[in-house]
């Protein structure tokens, strides 16, 4: 996983208005500051823990992105499978 390449910035800029950005861990300070820096304060930055909860299930979204540096394989396979399943469900909630 490469760092410092500008990929996160590209992902943020590509999100539709009011999109969701899923960061790599619970400390979302950096991506929130990056959103301010690029003028995209409309983006809702969340941690991976957000998707594992159920509070988002009744909502609709304009789009979402998972940070390119998300550490797949750093958790037990069962947790990665559950996370992937929830990403797929989140994808069904997208309404442009």
Domain ranges, ordered by start, for the chain:
7-91
**Residue 31 belongs to what H/E stretch?**
helix 29-37
**Residue 13 belongs to what H/E stretch?**
helix 7-14
Dist. CA 24–CA 26, nearest whole Å: 7
Cβ neighbours of residue 59 closer than 8 Å, sequence gap 6 or more = 93
Dist. CA 47–CA 27, nearest whole Å: 7
Segment 40-89, tens digit of pLDDT: 999 999 999 999 998 888 889 999 999 999 888 787 888 889 999 999 99
Q: How many CA atoms lie within 13 A of 81 on its CB side?
A: 3
Q: What is the pTM of this model?
A: 0.89
């Amino acid at each position: 996983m490469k760092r410092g390449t500008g990929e996160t910035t590209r992902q943020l800029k590509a999100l539709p208005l009011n999109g969701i950005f899923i960061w790599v861990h619970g400390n979302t300070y950096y991506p929130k500051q990056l959103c301010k820096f690029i003028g995209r304060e409309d983006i809702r930055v969340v941690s991976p823990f957000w998707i594992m909860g159920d509070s988002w299930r009744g909502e609709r979204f304009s789009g979402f992105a998972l940070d390119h540096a998300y550490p797949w394989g750093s958790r037990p396979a069962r947790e990665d499978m559950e996370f992937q399943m929830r990403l797929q469900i989140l994808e069904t909630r997208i309404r442009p």
